[in-house]
A and B are shown apart, each in its own frame.
Chain A
Amino acid sequence: MRVAQARRFVISDHPLPWLLPLVAILLVFTVYPLIYNIWLSFHEFVPRRRALEFVGTENWVQLWNDTRFWQSLVITFTYFAIALVFELVLGMAIALLLDSDGFGFGFLRGVLTMTLVIPPAIVGMMYLLMEDPQFGVISYLLQSIGLLNSNNPILATASTALAGVLVAEIWQWTPFMVLIFLAGLRALPPEPYEAAMIDGASPFQIFRRITLPMMSKVIAIAVLVRGIDLFRVFDYVFVMTSGGPGASTYSLSLYAWQQTFSFVKWGYGATLSLVTLVIILVIANLFIRIAKVRW
């Protein structure tokens, strides 16, 4: 080959040309919106004048006194915590169950994966149908075993609406945990298990003392990846409840979106979305430090 000629393209030995397209698109689509968002949070749209006006720190002060904001923060944390616990525990249990080469287990793993690629907005709609008080199959089952009063529609009752949304969430994403945990379980070395068997350890002891510690890195990654998504939940609450009844299912993302697009509070919506971003970044980075997650 024309060696000398090829050697002349030394510019490609520098990382910059390789990274330039990535840096450009990230700058335009994350840094610029971020700065714009910060700018927007010190302004507010005035419908009377049809223009943005500088309002100083008014939006930030309003945030502090906004009970609906604090409520949506609590709801987001509740949603996050309940979903994460269920998805972790169920995911680990099902992964342990499926970690076998028995008849049809490969097929079963495949079927379980199907939930992951259906758009969450469509999943939310389908659960809306299943939880319909009159002809929903979930409502019917719960009513027939006496767990649900037919006068209490799941998604239109403040005390059960969040649970109704969480069912869709947990249904769709538990298989995600199963897949990650299965991959982790498959990669574990067999020696500690053999030693534990010889020592006569019980299955629970083996799980607690061997499986859990060796899986800690995998669990940490699962918590991080899923946790970030859980904290910005939007799709399910948007299509299933729109935040209601009352404000019992308002998530931070939904609240920020509604302030901007339904109530035309552009500045305040930007403030709320910034706060959501800051909370996620702080928690995620703390978690990465503490759990020593490596990418």
Chain B
Amino acid sequence: MNGSFSARMLRTIAAWVVVAIFFFPISYWTSVAFKHGNDIFNRPPKLFAFTPTFDNFQKVFGISLGSGGITVTPGGGNFYMAPRVWDSIVIATLSTVLAVAIATLAAYALSRMNFRGRHSFVGWVLSTRMMPPVAVAVPMFFIYKNFGLIDTYTGMVLIHALMNLPLAVLLMKSFFDDIPSEIDESAIVDGASRFMIFRRIVLPMAKGGIAATAVLCFIFSWTEFLFALTLTTTSLKTVPVVSSTFVTSIGTAWGNMAALGAASIIPAFIFILLVQKHLVRGLTMGSLKQ
């Protein structure tokens, strides 16, 4: 919309102010991440006037930035996050691969084939997304216990894949719907099988959509809390679960917490850059085309 120069000026300033307010917490945590213990407890809280340190990052991730080697003391070992980051990466990656593979197959059929009950089938898939995680996590805990799946990659990968399936199916279906079905039909006339069309023609055309779906699945697995909290105990944990244990009876490790929080923004930022174009469609499960 066009307006007078001053109106546009005002709008631009207002937009920057609003976004700055939303960005403030992130900048504040990042500052805490670089603070020594006593600087965190300063009153009034200081945003810039403190001596920065890498101690928090070093302790949380067990990485050396500058001075000495890895400094993980037995007492502070709780906050050593590197294995948990690895757990999170493995679970998120494998569950994403599984969810996207299953969803892509199903979405192709739902997009191209006419069969009885197709509509109610989509409705059923959708309804699984309405399930509150607690309604699955509670019975799953007992089922997992019986099958020895607690604390296993398999268990976490399966439950995260399940969680992302409705989203992935609906999203992939909307991407397939965008590819004209005349292409399929002419290939069928040429004698190609369904699977050949899928693999050689439709799949390559939907590459961008698959990438977007994968990144969204990865993010949702990365940020998921309740299943990870319920279905893991000691030997396997994800980043969000460990972050909630930073509050201990002897105090909260705020500096370490903030370092983790600040670090969690970096992959977030990379992912946003990757899927920005498809983000809205993904977040609304494909129902909204950009």
Are A and B physically bound partners?
yes
Q: Are A114 and B265 in contact (CB under 8 A)?
A: yes
Query: What would be 9 A-B contacts, judged by CB atoms less than 8 Å apart?
Result: A15-B113, A18-B105, A29-B140, A40-B142, A114-B272, A129-B252, A239-B244, A239-B247, A280-B130
* A221 and B115 in contact, given A26-B128, A113-B279, A121-B244 (Cβ under 8 angstroms): no
Task: Give the interface SS of chain B, mostly helix, strand, loop or mixed.
Answer: helix
CA distance in complex: A105, B143 (Å): 49
Number of A-B residue pairs, CB cutoff 8 Å, is 306
* A232 and B133 in contact, given A25-B165, A29-B158, A112-B22 (Cβ under 8 angstroms): yes
Chain B residues near A238 (CB, 8 Å)? 225, 229, 244
Flag whether B32 is at the interface (Cβ < 8 A). Answer: yes
What are the interface flags for B192-224 relative to A under an 8 Å C-beta threshold, 1 for contact and 0 otherwise?
A: 111110000000000000000000000100111
Partner-contacting stretch, out of B61-69, B70-78, B280-288: B280-288
* A175 and B225 in contact, given A33-B136, A33-B140, A108-B16 (Cβ under 8 angstroms): no
Q: Which residue of chain B is the closest to A37 with respect to CB atoms?
A: B139
* A280 and B132 in contact, given A15-B115, A100-B11, A108-B16 (Cβ under 8 angstroms): yes
Question: In whole Å, how far is B70's beta carbon from the nearest beta carbon of chain A?
Answer: 23
Chain B residues near A9 (CB, 8 Å)? 193-196
CA distance in complex: A9, B133 (Å): 40
Flag whether A284 is at the interface (Cβ < 8 A). Answer: yes
* A183 and B280 in contact, given A118-B264, A126-B257, A261-B230 (Cβ under 8 angstroms): yes
Q: Are B102 and A21 in contact (CB under 8 A)?
A: yes
CA distance in complex: A103, B14 (Å): 12
Which of B11, B239, B247 counts the most A-chain CB atoms under 10 A from its CB?
B11
CA distance in complex: A102, B5 (Å): 11
Chain B residues near A34 (CB, 8 Å)? 135, 139
Partner-contacting stretch, out of A56-64, A81-89, A252-260: A252-260
Chain B residues near A136 (CB, 8 Å)? 45
Flag whether B89 is at the interface (Cβ < 8 A). Answer: no
Which residues of A does B touch, CB under 8 Å? Answer: 1, 3-4, 6-10, 12-15, 18-19, 21-22, 25-26, 29-30, 32-34, 36-37, 40, 94, 97-100, 102-105, 108, 110-130, 134-137, 140, 144, 171, 174-176, 179-180, 182-184, 186-187, 193, 218, 221-222, 225, 228, 231-232, 234-235, 238-239, 252-253, 256-257, 260-261, 266, 269-270, 273-274, 276-277, 280-281, 284, 293-295
Q: Are A260 and B138 in contact (CB under 8 A)?
A: yes
Question: In whole Å, how far is B192's beta carbon from the nearest beta carbon of chain A?
Answer: 6
Q: Are B12 and A103 in contact (CB under 8 A)?
A: yes
We find that the number of chain B residues with CB closer than 8 angstroms to chain A is 110
Contact partner of B43 (CB less than 8 A), chosen from A7, A110, A114, A134, is A134
Interface contacts beyond A115-B26, A284-B130, A295-B170: sample of 8 additional A-B pairs, CB < 8 Å, sorted by A: A18-B106, A26-B165, A33-B140, A97-B14, A119-B239, A187-B290, A225-B283, A273-B138
Question: In whole Å, how far is B221's beta carbon from the nearest beta carbon of chain A?
Answer: 10
CA distance in complex: A97, B20 (Å): 14
* A228 and B129 in contact, given A40-B142, A103-B12 (Cβ under 8 angstroms): yes
CA distance in complex: A236, B113 (Å): 42
Task: Give the interface SS of chain A, mostly helix, strand, loop or mixed.
Answer: helix
* A117 and B271 in contact, given A9-B195, A180-B280, A295-B170 (Cβ under 8 angstroms): yes
Q: Are A125 and B106 in contact (CB under 8 A)?
A: no
Flag whether B42 is at the interface (Cβ < 8 A). Answer: yes
Flag whether B150 is at the interface (Cβ < 8 A). Answer: no
Q: Are A277 and B225 in contact (CB under 8 A)?
A: no
Chain A residues near B28 (CB, 8 Å)? 130, 137
Q: Are B268 and A114 in contact (CB under 8 A)?
A: yes
Chain B residues near A120 (CB, 8 Å)? 223, 225, 240
Which B residues between 112 and 167 are near A, CB-CB below 8 angstroms?
113, 115, 118, 121-122, 124-143, 158-159, 161-162, 165
Chain B residues near A103 (CB, 8 Å)? 12
CA distance in complex: A225, B167 (Å): 11
Chain B residues near A187 (CB, 8 Å)? 289-290
CA distance in complex: A228, B280 (Å): 17
Flag whether B175 is at the interface (Cβ < 8 A). Answer: no
Question: In whole Å, how far is A44's beta carbon from the nearest beta carbon of chain B?
Answer: 13
Q: Are B139 and A222 in contact (CB under 8 A)?
A: no
Q: Are A36 and B226 in contact (CB under 8 A)?
A: no
Q: Are B45 and A30 in contact (CB under 8 A)?
A: no
Contact partner of A18 (CB less than 8 A), chosen from B108, B196, B240, is B108
Contact partner of A260 (CB less than 8 A), chosen from B132, B141, B244, B289, is B141
Q: Which residue of chain A is the closest to B197 with respect to CB atoms?
A: A12
Which B residues between 36 and 81 are near A, CB-CB below 8 angstroms?
40-45
Q: Are A125 and B19 in contact (CB under 8 A)?
A: no
Q: Are B243 and A121 in contact (CB under 8 A)?
A: yes
CA distance in complex: A8, B45 (Å): 72
Q: Are A273 and B45 in contact (CB under 8 A)?
A: no
Flag whether B250 is at the interface (Cβ < 8 A). Answer: no
